[in-house]
Amino acid sequence: MAPSLAPALQRRDLGRVDYAATYAAMQRFTAEREAHTPDELWLCEHPPVFTQGLAGKPEHLLAPGDIPVVSTNRGGQVTYHGPGQVVAYPLIDLQRAGYYVKAYVYRLEEAVIRTLTHFGVTGHRVAGAPGIYVRLSDPFDHAALTGPRPGGDPFAGLGKISALGIKVHRHCTYHGLALNVAMDLEPYSRINPCGHPGLRTVDLSTIGVTTDTATVAEVLSQELARRLTP
């Protein structure tokens, strides 16, 4: 196990691990943890897999082909995990940390935004659509998104670079977020990402940032630690 990021958050670097086995391990950790169990942050990559959230509708899974589909108990619709993506699973006791689910989601998104800032990219929130988005025309434009989007489409001119889906059981979180670094993005064409037909998905590589998953994971883990620990 890597050194602690903070007294209450232990970091585990899992490498490339099977999704279903990791999901089962998160459930087991959460079910077995006690009042004084330290919070953990698991960082990993997964082999190609589509995952369906509790609200997942089959019509959003267009043509999975040879990529397996795993049903989960996280929130949200279908998304894709694969090599070249940093996946972060914070296992946090929210009651002990002293904030509620809405604040937790905000902190996750803020950690992604700050991580993107480290690479010169501006991340944006879209109301009602958890995750982080970038301007396709200029991902390095620091101006805020203002006013109605063209044609009333909240995703007009945007690409999704980070997906978020969580589960809270007895005040304790699992599942988490994914940040796209340098992926094969073709599998996203086989789904309606997060249930939004036509939503474009991007990674740091396609918007002009040259880096690797280890570097991004290091920055993201530090940003998460700053925001998730009491």
32-76, pLDDT tens digit by residue?
A: 999 999 999 999 999 999 999 998 899 999 999 999 999 999 999
Global pTM reads 0.94
What is each CA distance from 13 to 24, 45, 58, 81, 193, in whole angstroms? Answer: 17, 10, 33, 17, 27
Mean pLDDT of 157-184: 97
Q: Hey, what are 14's tokens?
A: 């899992």
| Tens digits of residue pLDDT in 119-161 | 999 999 998 899 999 999 999 999 988 766 666 788 889 999 9
Question: Would you state the pLDDT for residue 152?
Answer: 74
- pLDDT computed for residue 230 by the predictor: 73
List, in sequence order, every residue forming a beta bridge with 51; answer none if it has no partner.
Answer: 70, 79
What values do phi and psi take at 217, rounded to 5? Answer: -60, -40
Among candidate residues 153, 160, 102, 103, the one with its CA nearest the CA of residue 131: 160
Q: Supply the mean pLDDT for the chain.
A: 93
Question: What is the pLDDT at residue 147?
Answer: 65
User: Which are the catalytic amino acids?
Assistant: 194
Beta bridge mates, 178: 87, 163
- 175 has pLDDT over 80: yes
Q: What is the mean pLDDT of residues 95-107?
A: 95
